[in-house]
Amino acid sequence: MKSAPFTYRSPASLEETLDLLAREPDDASLLAGGQSLVPMLNMRIARPETVIDLNRVSELSGVQSRNGTVRIGAMTRQRTLERDREIAATLPILPEALEHVAHLAIRLRGTIGGSLAHADPSAELPAVMLALNATFALRSQNGSRTVAAEDFFLAPLMTAIDPGELLEAIEVPVPPARTGWGFAEVARTHGAFALVGAIAGLTLKALAVEHARLVLFGVAAAPVSIDWVEDSLLGRELDDDVLAEVQHRVSAELEPVDDVHATAAYRRRAAGALAHRVLRQAAARAAVSDLGSPA
Ligand SMILES: Cc1cc2nc3c(=O)[nH]c(=O)nc-3n(C[C@H](O)[C@H](O)[C@H](O)COP(=O)(O)OP(=O)(O)OC[C@H]3O[C@@H](n4cnc5c(N)ncnc54)[C@H](O)[C@@H]3O)c2cc1C
33 Cα–ligand 1 center, Å: 7
Distance CA 247, CA 280 (A): 11
pLDDT in tens, 43-71: 999 999 999 999 999 999 999 999 999 99
Question: Which of the four pLDDT bands, split at 50, 70 and 90, describes residue 295?
Answer: very low
Give the per-residue pLDDT at 1: 79
Are 209 and 235 in contact by the 8 Å Cβ rule? The answer is yes
pLDDT at 150 over 90: yes
Nearest CA to ligand 1 atom 32: 114
Rg (CA), the chain: 19
Question: Which of the four pLDDT bands, split at 50, 70 and 90, describes residue 294?
Answer: very low
pLDDT in tens, 248-274: 999 999 999 999 999 999 999 999 999
47 Cα–ligand 1 center, Å: 17
CA dihedral 72, 96, 148, 71 (to 10 degrees): -20
| Section 94-122 average pLDDT | 97
pLDDT at 293 over 50: no
The residues pairing with 185 across neighbouring beta strands, listed in sequence order, are: 197
pLDDT in tens, 154-163: 999 999 999 9
What global pTM score does this model have?
0.96
Are 23 and 52 in contact by the 8 Å Cβ rule? The answer is no
275 Cα–ligand 1 center, Å: 26
Nearest CA to ligand 1 atom 6: 102
Mutate to test the pocket of ligand 1, among 43, 72, 101, 118 (most ligand atoms within 8 A of CB): 118
Distance CA 46, CA 187 (A): 27
Which stretches within the chain are classed as H helix? 14-23, 37-42, 78-83, 85-90, 93-98, 104-109, 112-118, 124-131, 149-152, 228-233, 240-253, 264-287
| Section 83-91 average pLDDT | 96
Give the per-residue pLDDT at 290: 59
The verdict on the CB of residue 224 being under 6 Å from ligand 1 is: no
Domains present along the chain, CATH in parentheses: 7-53 (3.30.43.10), 60-173 (3.30.465.10), 179-287 (3.30.390.50)
Give the per-residue pLDDT at 191: 87
The verdict on the CB of residue 219 being under 6 Å from ligand 1 is: no
The residues pairing with 199 across neighbouring beta strands, listed in sequence order, are: 183, 215
The residues pairing with 200 across neighbouring beta strands, listed in sequence order, are: 182, 214
Distance CA 180, CA 226 (A): 17
pLDDT at 292 over 80: no
Q: What count of residues does the chain have?
A: 295
Give the per-residue pLDDT at 289: 80
Question: How many CA atoms are closer than 13 Å to the CA of 104, on its beta-carbon side?
Answer: 1
| Section 123-142 average pLDDT | 98
**DSSP line for 252-278:** HH------SS--HHHHHHHHHHHHHHH
Mutate to test the pocket of ligand 1, among 14, 30, 55, 96 (most ligand atoms within 8 A of CB): 30
| Section 10-20 average pLDDT | 98
222-239 burial, b at 16+ Cβ within 10 Å, e below that, comes to bbbbbeebeeebeeeebe
87 Cα–ligand 1 center, Å: 21
35 Cα–ligand 1 center, Å: 5
Please report, rounded to a whole number, the percentage of residues in the chain having pLDDT higher than 70. Answer: 98
pLDDT in tens, 179-234: 999 999 999 998 889 999 999 999 999 989 999 999 999 999 999 999 999 999 99
The verdict on the CB of residue 33 being under 6 Å from ligand 1 is: yes
Give the per-residue pLDDT at 31: 98
Helices 240-253 and 264-287 meet at what angle, rounded to 10?
150
pLDDT at 291 over 70: no
Helix (H) or strand (E) holding 52: strand 50-53
